[in-house]
Structure 1
Amino acid sequence: MSTSSPPTETMAIGTAEPKEGFLKHLLKAQAFQILLVLLVIVAIFSALAPDTFAQWSNFRLIIQNASILAVLGIGMTFVIITAGIDLSIGSVLVFSGVVSAMVMRAMGGQGWGVAIVGILVAIASGVAWGLFNGFLIAKGKIPPLIVTLGSLGMALGFAQILTGGVDIRQVPTVLTTTIGYGNVFGTIPTISVIALVLIIIGAIVLHYTRFGLHTFAVGSSEVAARRVGVKVDRQLISIYTISGGLAGFAGILSLSQFSTTAIAGQSQTNLNVIAAVVIGGTSLFGGIGTIFGTVVGLFIPAVLQNGFVITGVQPFWQQVAVGAVLIAAVYVDQARRSAAMRGNTQSLWRRFVSGSRRG
C-alpha cells in the first residue's frame, strides 16, 4: 500500500502555496486601486476643462497645496498602522507656528539666523506635544482618541491664549521667499520638494528598517509584539513623537506659505489627513499601510476641490465626494479583513480535519 498522500490532502495541509504574481498582487493593492481612481478623476476634469485644469500651472498649484498635508500624513500613517489615531496634529501645527512666530518676532531680523531658530522652535514644540501624547497613551494606557482629542483642545487653546486670538503676521522674508514662494529649477515649488524628501525618508523608515517592522508588529498584535521582544511602549512614544515633530515642522511650512499663523484655518486639517491616510489603504485596525498610498489619498480631495472650482461646481460637493470615498475605503478594508479571517479559519479547519484522518 502506498503511504504517499493524495495531492488534495497536501493542499489542505497547506505545506505549499502558490506564489501570487506581481501583477495580480499589484491590482489587488488598495493603494494602486486608489491611484486608478485618482487618474480617472484627473482625466474627467481634464476633459471638462482642458484649457484650465489640464495645465502644469494648475497641477503645480495642486501639488503645492497638498505638500503640508503630505508632511502631516507621514506621521499619521505610522500612527494609524499601530491602530492608533492622532486628532491633535492640526492644533499642534497652529501652536508650533505661533510659538515659532513669537520667537522670531522677538529676535527681529529677516535672515536665516532668525529663520533657523524659528524652525527649531517649531519642531521642538511639536515634539513636546508628541511626547505628551505618546507617554499618556503608552504609559498611562489612555485610549489615543481621548488623549489626542484632549491635546487638540489644549494646543489650540494655548495658541489662542498666547496671541489673544489675533494672528501673527511678522514672518522673516527669507522663509516666505525661499520656502513659501520659492521654486526649484524655476518651476517646482520648494515646499513640495521638502515634502517629497520627507516622504522618501518616511517610506524608507517604514518599509526598510527595524523601526518600521516594529511599527507593523505593534499594529498587527501588540501582545504578540511584546512576546517577541518589541518594546511596545517605547515604540508608541517614538511614533507619536515623530507625528508631533512633523506637525511642528508643518507649522513652519504653513507660516512660510501663508505669512501668518492662520489660527482659525486648520480646523479640518486633522480630519483631512486621517481621511487621506485611510483612503490610501492604511487600515484603521492596524498592521497595514504605505506612505505611497497616503500620498495618493491626499491628492484625491486636493484634485476634487481644484476641479470643482474650475468647472463651476460648488466646492461643498468635495466634502460629499471625499466622505463617500472614505466610507468605501473603510468598507473595502473591512471586507478584506473578514475574507482573510474566513480564509485562515477554513485553512485551520482543513488542517484539523486532515490531521484527524491521518490519526
Structure 2
Amino acid sequence: MSTSTGAGTGTSTAPTASTIETTAAHGNLTDRVKAMQSVWILGVLVVIVAVFGVMSPSTFLTTGNLTNIAQNVSIWAVLAVGMTFVIITSGIDLSVGSVLVVSSVVSAKVMESMGDSGWTTALVGLALAVVVGIFWGALNGFLVARAKVPPLIVTLGTLSVALGVAQILTGGLDIRSAPQVLQDNIGYGRLAGIPAITIIALVVVVLGGIMLHRTRFGRYTYAIGSNETSARRVGINVDRKLVQIYALSGFLAGIAGILSLAQYGTTTIAGQSLTNLNVIAAVVIGGTSIFGGQGSMFGSMVGLFIPAVLQSGFVIVGVSPYWQTVAVGSILITAVYVDQHRRAAAVRGG
C-alpha cells in the first residue's frame, strides 16, 4: 500500500479496505439516524394513512384491508431488496420485471412438463426460477463491471431480451398450470392469519437489511457507491462485487417469479411492464440516492408502501385510482430534489 509523507509530520498511510469498511459502517449508521428523507417520507406515509383513516375509518383501517395492502406489495418488496443494493452502487436495474417473467415462464414450463402438482415439482420449479434469475443478474453485472457498458443501457437491453425469450418460449400466451401446492400453501396460504407470501417477503427484507447494514458485503456496497475509485484503491474488488450485487438482484427476481406464479396461478407476461419503474420509484422515494452511497432497507420499504396505500385509499373513498400515478410521480420528483439539495448543502458545508 502506498504512503505519502507530509511536511514535517512523518509518514501517513493510505486507507485500507478495513478502514473504509469501518468508516462506511459508522457513516451509514450516522446517515440512517439523520436521514431526513427517510424521516419525511415516513411522515408522508403516516399522513396518507391518517387521512384515509379519517375519511373511511370503518373500511380503510381494518385488519383485512391492511393485510391486503401488505400482500399486494410482497412481490415488489422482494424486488426492492435487490434494487436497493444496485442503486446504492449508483447503478440501476431496469430488467427486474422481465427477469421475473422469464424466470416464472421457464419454471412453469418445466413444472408443466413434469405433470405433477406436488412439492417435488414445486421445488424443481423454484430452483429453476432462481438459476434463471441469477444468470440474468450475473450477465447484467458482467456487462456493467467488465464490459463497462452503462447500467442503464445494459439493463434496458436485457429487459427487452428477457421478455423476448419469455414470449418465444410461450408464443406470447401465459402458462396457467402452476402446481396447486404452490397456490394453496404460498399464494393463498396463511400463518397465524398472515398471508404466507407476506411472511416470505418479510424474511427476505429482514435478511436483506442485515446483509446491507451489518455485513462486509453491505459496507463494500456503500463504499462502491460513495467513491468507486477510492474503493478500488483500498483493495476492494469492485468488479466482482458489482457482478455479485447484480446477481443478487437477479436471484431475488427469480424468487419473485415463483411467488408471482403462486399468487396468480399463471405467468404474467403482459402484467409486469411497469414493475421495474414502480420498484425503482419506491426505492428512490424511500431515500436511496440515485447518485449512490446512501440508502436503507427501511426507507425502501416505506417508499414501497406509499403507492400501495394510495391505491387502496383511492379505491375505498371512490377517487379514480389513476390519481395514484400522479401522486407517486410528484413524490418521486420531490424526493430526488430533496436528495440533490441535501448533497449540495453537504458540499457547501464541507
Q: Report the TM-score, using the length of structure 2 for normalisation.
A: 0.90
Q: Which amino acid aligns with 1:343?
A: G
- In the other structure, the counterpart of 1:262 is 268
Q: Distance in 1 between matches of 2:346 and 2:215?
A: 26
SS at 2:109 equivalent? helix
Local SS of the residue matching 1:212: helix
RMSD, aligned α-carbons:
1.7
One-letter amino acid of the structure 2 residue matched with residue 261 of structure 1: T
Match in the other structure for 2:117: 110
- Trace 1:1-359 onto structure 2 (pairs within 5 A): 26=33, 28-185=35-192, 187-344=193-350
- Distance in 1 between residues matched to 2:244 and 2:30, nearest whole Å: 35
Q: State the alpha-carbon separation in 1 of the partners of residues 232 and 34 from structure 2.
A: 34
Q: Is the 8 A contact 1:26 1:32 kept in 2?
A: no
Call closer, same or farther: CA 1:28–1:281 in 2, change over 3 Å. Answer: closer
CA distance in 1, matches of 2:130, 2:244: 15
> Take 1:119 and 1:209, find their aligned partners in 2: how far apart are those partners?
27
**Identical-residue share of aligned pairs (%):** 62
Residue in 1 that maps onto 2:8:
none
Deviation at 1:314, TM superposition (A): 0.6
Gaps of 5+ in 1: 1-21, 345-359
Question: What is the CA–CA distance in structure 1 between the aligned matches of 2:234 and 2:302, rounded to whole Å?
Answer: 33
What runs of 5+ residues in structure 2 fail to find an aligned partner?
Answer: 1-28
Whole-angstrom distance in 1 between the partners of 2:330 and 2:126? 37
Distance 2:88 2:129 in 1: 25
CA distance in 1, matches of 2:281, 2:50: 22
Give the aligned residue type for 1:208: R
Deviations 1:249-293 (CA, angstroms, capped at 9, x unpaired): 100000000001011000000000000000000000000000010
* Deviation at residue 34 of structure 1 after TM alignment: 1.0
Which digits, 9 at most, give the CA deviation of each residue in 1:65-112, with x for residues without a partner?
A: 000000000000000000000000000000000000000000111110
Measured after TM superposition, the shift of residue 54 of structure 1 is 1.2
- Aligned to 1:314, the other structure's residue is in SS state coil
| TM, length-normalised to structure 1 | 0.88
Paired with 1:311 and 1:165, the residues of 2 have a C-alpha distance of 37
Question: What secondary structure, in the 3-state scheme, does the structure 2 residue paired with 1:171 have?
Answer: coil
Evaluate the alpha carbon distance shift between residue 25 and residue 181 of structure 1 in structure 2; reply closer, same or farther with a 3 A threshold. Answer: closer
Aligned residues: 324
Cα deviation code 1:17-54 (max 9, x no counterpart): xxxxx999846532122111101100100111111111
2:291 maps to a residue whose letter is: F
Q: Which amino acid aligns with 2:301?
A: V
C-alpha distance in structure 1 between counterparts of 2:198 and 2:137, whole Å: 24
Bigger CA radius of gyration: 1
